[in-house]
Chains A and B, each alone.
Chain A
């Protein structure tokens, strides 16, 4: 499981980030004080990614960035400042990305995924329940037995697993699986979902007014 370090001084936002990330399948550790965060990194704690608030007590995000870069931990800045110079400085100094508060959960997750894709190689196997996916060979097994899926069903499965516990809107699913120019009907998605549910036996629930969500309990989920 990939580890994310959240450094944010506002307690509410800090807890929010931790909750969101742990529910979506990341291992999360957090800190509200810049100097304590720095000390932990210098002690040699390893993370795959850090979310850093720019305005921190003790020190600021820009100063912490050097410590993180020294240990090859990619950094995404969180900032309430919408100031362009902050963004420019952050990116020039070597941050991977920045997110302006208030942010949307989806945006946060997508950005995290992108940065991780660049830095931490994807594991060769993803497992949810008794389903195992090998992205390299596009093979899916259920309880050790190979499972035949159409290419669309396979893509949908991977999308749901990667966003486990997050409700995905129909628009998002459409744009990810069929590209944005496909003017498909929502019914098409509903059909694919029900077939996928039947084949895999995974708990894919329909969330009213939003879309679909793969609910995963256990060590990787809630």
Chain B
């Protein structure tokens, strides 16, 4: 059963009960009072008649009993006695009785009594009047008639009131509970996936406070959902890019191996196929390595920060850069003597080699790599980064210039990796580029407060065009 119906029925039931109880009590009281007033009237009349009669019959002297009886009888008949009925007894003998009942016997020694005779309710009382005993009898029927009328009236009024209540209560209950209905609709909307529509809150009662809690819940669910969707979207894009990147070398590997197996190839073609197989396998390997690195770093792997000097970093980086610059033809000018900071030497080396690779693939003739204090700078004289691409260069698999990067075998993970490493070192990454003239990337290490939680990219990555 609906709560509004329950409340309505309960209220109506309570009202009906109250009405009936009140009515009964009221009628009972009226009944008592009316009976009392009948009794009072009868008593007043009785004592008045008894007193007057006593005075009237007071005549000294002895008389024979018969005379005396006649005198008493005669005198009583002279009395104006109202609408009550009387019985007069003298020494056990009834001198007068217009009550039609033997009151002396019915009272049986009591001074007064309510009597039921047939359907009638009567009041009888006695009083001593000189030598006689006087009995009075009053009819209580008018009281019952009055009570009947009152009962009818009360039933009418009560019934009307009850009807009014019965009609109004459900309406009022529904009106009071309508905010609950609204809340229910809101909950349904939320359950159905609509997190946009706010929950309307009226008034200032308990339901309204429930509604406010609802609204808070909706907002936090919406915010949470938005974040989850964003993350999922990001993951999806990353996965799409990853699939695409993996498919390119895989296509060659699958294709050349199939060709070697099934085709009638000349020795020269066989050699070429094997060379491509080797090259593309290496490309796949380096791609997966970088990716694994990126994933483990993203998963919050702890890094070992130890105090580093420029010469330590130089010892690791120099041979790598020498080999790389022989391949790419971009000269590497390395001077890390002024570098002093706490960090992970291998990861910082990854930063420098990746930044060098980017510079080399941007067609730089010379790449200057310097370190001073906690700052590492890689400056090149390559083609720079187009302004439109600048905001996205640290995204995984993003390549500012697809054509050149592809043939160079880069997957677009370099800056994403650098960003991750810088984040783990609580440093900052600044990319300043001047299209056509070169790019300068500056990395600082341990610049941000140790207690800060890892921030979003926006906080520590700056990318801008300088002229």
Query: A101 CA to B406 CA in the complex, in Å?
Result: 16
Picked from A12, A32, A101, A167, the residue with its CB within 8 Å of the CB of B263 is: A167
Task: Give the nearest-CB partner of B245 in chain A.
Answer: A80
Distance of A204 from chain B, by nearest CB (Å): 11
Interface centre among B250, B263, B276 (most CB of A within 10 A): B263
**A147 in the interface (beta carbon within 8 A):** no
Q: A9-B406, A16-B276, A82-B243 are in contact. Are A102 and B254 (CB under 8 A)?
A: yes
Interface residues on B, range: 20 to 34
Picked from A13, A58, A222, the residue with its CB within 8 Å of the CB of B251 is: A13
Interface residues on A, range: 35 or more
Instruction: List, in ascending order, chain B residues with CB within 8 A of A32's CB.
Output: 407
Task: Give the nearest-CB partner of A207 in chain B.
Answer: B262
Q: B266-289: contact bitstring with A at CB < 8 Å (1 yes, 0 no)?
A: 100100110010011000000000
Picked from A16, A33, A210, the residue with its CB within 8 Å of the CB of B259 is: A16
Query: A57 CA to B402 CA in the complex, in Å?
Result: 6
**B249 in the interface (beta carbon within 8 A):** yes
Q: Are A213 and B264 in contact (CB under 8 A)?
A: yes
Interface centre among A58, A102, A167 (most CB of B within 10 A): A102
**A23 in the interface (beta carbon within 8 A):** yes
Q: A165-209: contact bitstring with B at CB < 8 Å (1 yes, 0 no)?
A: 111000000000000000000000000000000000000000100
**B209 in the interface (beta carbon within 8 A):** no
Instruction: List, in ascending order, chain B residues with CB within 8 A of A153's CB.
Output: none
Instruction: List, in ascending order, chain B residues with CB within 8 A of A58's CB.
Output: 403
Query: A11 CA to B404 CA in the complex, in Å?
Result: 12
Interface centre among A57, A103, A165, A216 (most CB of B within 10 A): A57
**B235 in the interface (beta carbon within 8 A):** no
Q: Are B406 and A20 in contact (CB under 8 A)?
A: no
**B152 in the interface (beta carbon within 8 A):** no
Q: A11-B407, A82-B243, A215-B264 are in contact. Are A19 and B252 (CB under 8 A)?
A: no
Distance of A205 from chain B, by nearest CB (Å): 8
Q: Are B276 and A12 in contact (CB under 8 A)?
A: yes
Q: Are A165 and B248 in contact (CB under 8 A)?
A: no
Instruction: List, in ascending order, chain A residues with CB within 8 A of B373's CB.
Output: none
Contact residues of A between 1 and 17, Cβ < 8 Å to B: 9-13, 15-17
Known: A9-B407, A20-B263, A104-B258. 16 other contacts (CB 8 A): A10-B252, A12-B252, A16-B252, A19-B263, A19-B273, A23-B259, A23-B265, A33-B403, A80-B251, A81-B240, A101-B250, A102-B251, A166-B263, A167-B262, A213-B262, A222-B264
Chain B residues within CB distance 8 Å of chain A: 240, 243-244, 247-256, 258-259, 261-266, 269, 272-273, 276, 279-280, 402-403, 406-407
List 9 A-B pairs, Cβ < 8 Å: A12-B252, A12-B279, A12-B280, A16-B252, A20-B255, A32-B407, A57-B402, A80-B243, A210-B261
Chain A residues within CB distance 8 Å of chain B: 9-13, 15-17, 19-20, 23-24, 32-33, 55, 57-58, 80-82, 101-105, 165-167, 207, 210, 213, 215-216, 221-222
User: A-B pairs with the 9 shortest C-beta distances?
Assistant: A57-B403, A12-B252, A167-B262, A102-B251, A165-B264, A101-B251, A80-B247, A102-B254, A16-B255
